[in-house]
Amino acid sequence: MSTHRLALCASVVLLAGTIASARPNFGRNCSDCHNGGEPAVPALSVVGFDGMVDPDESATGATDRGLLKFFEVAPGGTLDLQVMVDFGNLQDHVYAVELKRMEIPGVEGFGTLDYTGDSGWFFQIGDTFPDPTRPYFTSTETDGVLFTEPQLLTYTMQIGAATDPDFYDLEFAMAGQPGFFYTDEHFYVHVTPEPGSVSLMAFGLGLCAWRRRGVR
């Protein structure tokens, strides 16, 4: 980390007082400042998912993350991405949650995720560490929130009708205080072919098989 970034991180602590607040508007890579490792308990968990899947990344060279949770949706559909924040009995924890990686191509076929974001979350490109090419959304705009009880956060995503069927590797991340903690969880948004397309494909395959039998 550069001297400039170290100075910025130190200023965050001084300005925020004893319990420093997460700064979700600083930049997408929370770990630029939050390099204190995982929180004392596993406090972030993707929930409400449709199953587990391990896509085939061999055609794209995308990172093989093994078996991950996934949410399934057809082009033009709506998806509720949910994550639970729970520090248990721990006190004085301030946190912010972000959703990112929507610009990353699909892991099986280089698909493009066309979506409309949740207006209840805050669109960010970074203030202190700006990166317009990698936008992200945060659950709070400029400051973290003090944990008092388990919090279920929902990000509603409208999938564009032109979205390519594919597996999209997204990520919920959380950073905060004390200790400049950072944690995250990757998951997939699986955009499936439209039912009509699947039916048409099945019909076409059946027709080809019938014609082959007729030739024999």
Kindly state whether residue 192 falls inside one of the protein's structural domains.
yes
pLDDT in tens, 24-34: 999 999 988 89
Q: How far apart are CA 22 and CA 138, in angstroms?
A: 11
Tokens 């439209």, residue located: 194
Task: Report the pLDDT value the prediction gives residue 209, as an integer from 0 to 100.
Answer: 47
Task: Report the pLDDT value the prediction gives residue 41, as an integer from 0 to 100.
Answer: 94
* Domain extent for 70: 3-209
Mean pLDDT, range 4-12, rounded to an integer: 41
- Which residues lie closer than 8 Å to 117 by C-beta, 6 or more apart? 123, 137, 155, 157
Task: Report the pLDDT value the prediction gives residue 198, as an integer from 0 to 100.
Answer: 43
Q: For the chain, give the percent of residues with pLDDT over 90.
A: 77
Kindly state whether residue 64 falls inside one of the protein's structural domains.
yes
- Which residues lie closer than 8 Å to 43 by C-beta, 6 or more apart? 85, 86, 87, 88, 93, 95, 174, 183
pLDDT in tens, 178-197: 999 999 999 999 999 976 44
Q: How far apart are CA 29 and CA 173, in angstroms?
A: 9
Residue 115 maps to which CATH number?
2.60.40.10
Kindly state whether residue 123 falls inside one of the protein's structural domains.
yes
Q: For the chain, give the percent of residues with pLDDT over 70.
A: 80
Number of domain units in the chain: 1
List beta partners, residue 187.
170
